Amino acid sequence: MFSSTQQFFKSYFVQSLFWIPIIFFSGLLVFNTLPYFTFSKEYRFIQERILLFQLPFYSFCFYTHIAAGSFCIVSALLQFSSTILKSRKKIHVWSGRIYVLVVLLIGAPTGMFMAFFAKGSNMERGLFMVMALIWFYSTARGLQTVLEKNILAHKQWMMRSYAMAMTAVTFRIYHILFYYFGWSHLENYEISLWISVVGNIVFTEVILFFRDKKYIQSFTS
């Protein structure tokens, strides 16, 4: 009895260490995007691309992309809540459907378009394109597998999709951290971007590897 209780609290503590920072920084990111919808041109990001923002289609893609990204980050948190999945399954289902539609129809396509004009070298622009493709593909596969009733594969693909959505959050964490190292803005931007994207991919695959290994062992032991 004591051992099982101790194991429960240990598991709860580890999960808290993982989810509390994610929820905090996700909320912070969404909060920081809200001022953009005053449509002021005074923000640094807009000032650096002021000529692009003269193009109506680029402006449309920018504002719809950050709105879609903010929604996806928040709604994805609901998808991984075991409490909601068990007791409020309809919330999981409908928020998941909306998430998929937003990613496939808005988030990934606008991200791909904006990647052509991203700051940095061609390497960074190429990385943004890869992100958009992975985000689109993993989300589409997540939809396909749940329609096929393959729940395990569905969880795997949606975790990969969420990893790409979360690059917006992890990028800012690294960017703040490296700012205190005194790195130049462009150097900080490029390194934070690469570590965020590659790090999210690797981290997700490591989690999936050990979860799958544990799942298989539960049937063979």
- What is the percent of the chain with per-residue pLDDT over 70, rounded to a whole number? 82
Q: Which of 181, 151, 168, 177 is nearest to 114 (CA)?
A: 168
Q: Where are the alpha helices (DSSP H) in 53-184?
A: 56-79, 82-87, 89-102, 108-115, 122-147, 151-165, 167-179
How far apart CA 206 and CA 209 sit, in angstroms, is 5
Residue 110 above 90 pLDDT?
Answer: yes
Neighbours of 40 (CB within 10 A): 9
Contact 76, 46 (CB under 8 A): no
- Burial status of residue 11 (CB atoms within 10 A of its CB: 0-12, 13-18, 19 or more): exposed
HSE of 166 in the Cβ direction (CA atoms, 13 Å)? 25
The region of weakest confidence among 87-91, 113-117, 203-207 is 87-91
At 82 the pLDDT is: 64
Q: Which two tokens stand for residue 168?
A: 């917006």
Q: How many domains does the chain have?
A: 1
| DSSP character at residue 119 | S
How far apart CA 216 and CA 11 sit, in angstroms, is 20
Contact 189, 120 (CB under 8 A): yes
Q: Which two tokens stand for residue 47?
A: 């000032």
What pLDDT band is residue 212 in, cutting at 50, 70 and 90?
Answer: low
44-54 pLDDT per residue, tens: 888 888 889 98
**Over the chain, what is the mean pLDDT?**
83
Q: For residue 5, what are the CA distances in angstroms to 9, 10, 143?
A: 6, 9, 37
Residue 208 above 70 pLDDT?
Answer: yes
Q: Which two tokens stand for residue 77?
A: 């948190």
How far apart CA 111 and CA 197 sit, in angstroms, is 14
67-81 pLDDT per residue, tens: 998 888 887 777 766
56-67 per-residue burial string, b: 16 or more CB within 10 A, e: under 16: eebeebbebbbb
Q: Which two tokens stand for residue 109?
A: 């396509």
Full residue range of the structural domain in which residue 40 is found? 2-220
